[in-house]
Amino acid sequence: MSSIRVLIFLCALLAPGLAGAAATVLVFGDSLSAGYGIAVEQSWPALLAERLRREKFPMTVVNASISGETTAGGLSRLPALLEREKPAVVVLALGANDGLRGLALDATRANLARMARTAKAAGARVLLVGMRLPPNYGPDYTNEFHALFAAVAKQEKTALLPFLLEPVARDDGAFQADRLHPTAAAQPKILDHVWQSLKPLLRRP
Which DSSP helix (H) or strand (E) runs through 71? helix 71-85
Which DSSP helix (H) or strand (E) runs through 106? helix 105-121
For residue 24, which phi and psi values (nearest 5 degrees)? -115, 135
The 3-state DSSP class for residue 101 equals coil
β-pair partners for 91: 27, 127
User: In residues, how long is the chain?
Assistant: 205
Q: Which residues are catalytic?
A: 31, 178, 181
CA atoms within 13 A on the CB side of 125: 14
Collect all residues with Cβ–Cβ distance below 8 Å to 203 and sequence separation of at least 6.
23, 88
The 3-state DSSP class for residue 23 equals strand
Closest by CA to 61, choosing from 80, 41, 38, is: 41
